Amino acid sequence: MASIHKEFVVDATPDQVWEVLADFGAVHERLAPGFVTDTRLDADTRTVTFADGTIVAERLVDLDPESRRVAYSVVGGHLHPAHHHASMQALPVENGKTLFVWHTDVLPDALAAPMAQSVEQGSAVIRRALQR
């Protein structure tokens, strides 16, 4: 199984970052505007449309305000992983800033490279969005 791990510091408080992360249905407006162009929420599953036209269905696995962590799994759309589990977490660091942690496990391994590229691009957009 391939694991993709990305961390970066955001000049915003963990509570400010969590407020955005917890808004599971507003990725296109709050977390990754431009990188994600649309999000539709239906019960525990969001349909996410990316700027490149890729559409994925992501099921909410956990939304934990105490640990400021959201976990989700790709369950449909253009990607068909045998397994996918991802989480994003807002952790406190010095000076009131936040360590943003994004971890993804995926099978088959062939999806690792394109998914890692997407995480890299998405992280740059997320960092800018969260520092506004």
Nearest residue to 46 via CA among 33, 27, 29, 65: 27
Over residues 67-113, the pLDDT tens digits come to 999 999 999 999 889 999 999 999 999 999 999 999 999 999 999 99
Report d(CA 64, CA 54) in Å as an integer: 28
Amino acid occupying residue 16: Q
Tell me the average pLDDT of the chain. 96
Q: What does the pLDDT read at residue 1? A: 84
Integer Cα distance of 94 and 131 in angstroms: 16
Q: Given this model, what pLDDT does residue 132 score?
A: 72
d(CA 107, CA 62) in angstroms, rounded, equals 20
Task: Report the greatest alpha carbon distance in the chain.
Answer: 41
Helix (H) or strand (E) segment spanning residue 122: helix 112-130
